[in-house]
Structure 1
Amino acid sequence: MAELVPIPGVMIERLAALDLDVDRILAKVGLSRAHLAPPRTRLTTAEFFALWDAIEEASGARDLGLRLGAGALPHKYDVASMAALHAATLGEALEKLAKYKRLVCPEEVFVEIEKGEARVGFHWWLAEGEPPRLLVDGTFAAVLALARRGTQKNITPVRVELARRRMDAALLARHFNCEIRFDAPVDRLVLPEAALAEPFVTHNADLLALLLPGLDSELAQEGRRRSLADDVRLALCRRMCGERPSVDKVAKDLRMSPRTLQRRLGEAGTSYQRLLDDVRYQSARRLLARTDLEAGEVAFLLGFEELNSFARAFQGWEGMTPARYRRLAAAPQP
């Protein structure tokens, strides 16, 4: 897994074209243009998130993330997006994006097919906080733009699910032309499963034959470096949607038996319960701080059988009730 996030020069160029003071934005997060010049054109996840926050503050444009994501040019794509653009179908494109994105930056893209829907989400491995709003909007706008560019059709999502309070609903609905669902457990772009069969007019088998062997070799090396605990955390994050995240279900996701999973986690110095508690804790903090979901709804999404169990667990994690944590998170920062 790549540990740093590449910053394409075109991103800085587009910010300047919008008459934003790029130097001031960079200075706000302790960076300068020298940081973005070769050979250092990559940022840590924390620096990358801070940069997006600074861009939002400087621009004041609520749709900037959408515009930046939708306006990405094919010749500026990273290798994962390039492989996706030249796939045979939209479904294959999303598979390639999910498979190779981790080679580009510490971000995991996942696609879940269920009940006639293709649900696209992402997870930042090294993030200590939540992805900035503009980055989430831009990511989904970029995925949809890739789908439309490849198929040359106006692919329309079923809905967009956002783990945030209701804001900019009309703006988002105009861009995505679908239902925007707020206070969701995770951020997801939901496409109709039938759209996955749409052929890509940009399909290029010869280019893929040149590109994929090298990417697969890198992926094999990355797989040897990645820990089982990382894979379990991701599987748990994907299941934090109102079901009890049992070890049996997670083991099935990882194609191993529950006993093998427990044994290997023990050998790595951790346990399934410890990872479950950690993911629940981080998810609870995010949902309480960023959404208007009631504490009982948060408890349900995290797989607790009753509110009291969640309240006791949260008290142990944070030393305060969920309600107090939400009030403090909503208070203006000095």
Structure 2
Amino acid sequence: MASVEHVDRLRMSDLVPVPPDLFRRVAALGVDIPDLLERVGLSTAQSTFSTAEQMAFWRTLAEVAPHRDIGLRLGSEKTADQRNLAEIAASHAATVEEALQRIARYKRLVCAERVTVARQGDEASIQFRWVHARGPIPHLLVECVFAAVVKLVHDASGSALVPRRIELARRRADAALLEGHFGCTVAFDEPQDRLVLASEDLARRFRPQRGEIYAQLLPSLEAALDDRTPTFPDEVRDVLRRHMVGDAVTIARVARDLALTPRTLQRRLSKEGTSYHALLDEVRRDTALRLLEATSLTEGEIAFFLGFEELNSFTRAFRTWEGTTPRRWRTSRAA
């Protein structure tokens, strides 16, 4: 079945601003901020952080937080004056779909992140991909982001948004907590983290806002996008990650997503000192390591998601990457 996707392809830098109220809000939920930041290697005076520092912050927060629902609360208890630029722009949209398109466009101003909304049949899935992240995305961060989207739609439309389901690329844990919060089924051991809505929810209208606020904000938002420009290979990596769900990701498909011919895509990558096959191999490796570490998917299931025709091909590739088999690598990480 064909799908329709909305994804903004402007590029972005890795260094992003620390939300000005983040440390205060985390402290208000019972976390010792000086201890947390010391563990991560950050300081309260830091105004920006890299993706690696951001991931370390959320992983460590999970270790020290006194309450398991802290990610959900950070997302769902955010007030209008605590919203970032992308969320402010989204709150002034006319519909849920337009709001998500604005988040997709402007999210890079507050995080090295891509947002994709894919409509297929009677469902629409929302994915957040941290462009420079390596390894599993911290579960508290995923929960916070999904909860924030649901809260924004509730506030802007005046009625609750109940997803069709939540899909998480991690082992089963806290199912009752998550299902109780979102009011829907939560599926674990999925290849990607996705917030899945009914397609009809995209047409839900928002309550009228003061249009002049967004009109005044728009020029500065557009100007700021010019500074978020990573390399062309990052564009290709992002498309590869988005389609790595069991289908064969061909160069023709990637080129089509980037509005290029395969020949042009290969030429541009060559100028950057890399190739399509090198990037495919890199993304397959990163995805394999993430799924082996974070989920209970079998080696055969992971091979399928990566687009390998048979398990032996995946095992041979993995030996080239890591010098061992997928099973032995997973066992060593669990030890």
Band of TM-score, shorter chain = over 0.9
Q: What is the CA-CA distance between 1:26 and the residue it aligns to?
A: 1.4
SS of alignment partner, residue 172 of structure 1? helix
Write the letter of the residue equivalent to 1:68. Answer: L
Write the letter of the residue equivalent to 2:87. Answer: S
1:5 aligns with 2:11: no
Moved more, 212-221 or 285-294: 212-221
For structure 2, the residue ranges without an aligned partner over 5 or more in a row are: 1-11
Q: List aligned pairs for 1:73-92, cutoff 5 A.
A: 73-92=79-98
Q: What is the CA-CA distance between 1:2 and the residue it aligns to?
A: 4.0
User: 1:116-136, CA deviations, whole angstroms, 9 ceiling, x for partnerless residues?
Assistant: 222111111222333211111
Q: What is the CA-CA distance between 1:149 and the residue it aligns to?
A: 1.1
Moved more, 109-118 or 228-237: 109-118
Find the counterpart in structure 2 of residue 303 from structure 1. 307
1:54 aligns with 2:60: yes
Find the counterpart in structure 2 of residue 294 from structure 1. 298
2:38 to 12, 27, 42: 27
**1:2·1:103 contact (CA, 8 Å) conserved in 2?**
no
1:279 to 277, 283, 298: 283
Moved more, 2-11 or 274-283: 2-11
For 2:31 and 2:286, how far apart are their aligned partners in 1? 34
Find the counterpart in structure 1 of residue 265 from structure 2. 261
Find the counterpart in structure 2 of residue 184 from structure 1. 190
For 2:212 and 2:20, how far apart are their aligned partners in 1? 28
Q: What is the CA-CA distance between 1:51 and the residue it aligns to?
A: 1.7
Q: What is the CA-CA distance between 1:314 and the residue it aligns to?
A: 0.5
Identity of aligned residues (%): 48
SS of alignment partner, residue 122 of structure 1? strand
For 2:294 and 2:30, how far apart are their aligned partners in 1? 30
Q: What is the CA-CA distance between 1:202 and the residue it aligns to?
A: 4.9
Write the letter of the residue equivalent to 2:273. Answer: G
**1:5·1:48 contact (CA, 8 Å) conserved in 2?**
no
User: 1:169-201, CA deviations, whole angstroms, 9 ceiling, x for partnerless residues?
Assistant: 111000111111101111111111111111111
Q: Which has the higher contact order (CA 8 A, sep 6+)?
A: 2
2:121 to 115, 127, 138: 115
Find the counterpart in structure 2 of residue 325 from structure 1. 329
SS of alignment partner, residue 21 of structure 2? helix
1:231 to 228, 235, 253: 235
Q: What is the CA-CA distance between 1:220 and the residue it aligns to?
A: 4.1
Find the counterpart in structure 1 of residue 72 from structure 2. 66
User: 1:229-272, CA deviations, whole angstroms, 9 ceiling, x for partnerless residues?
Assistant: 11110000000111000111111111111121112112221111
For structure 1, the residue ranges without an aligned partner over 5 or more in a row are: none
For 1:243 and 1:83, how far apart are their aligned partners in 2? 34
Cα 1:226–1:55 change in 2 (3 A) is closer
2:101 to 91, 95, 102: 95
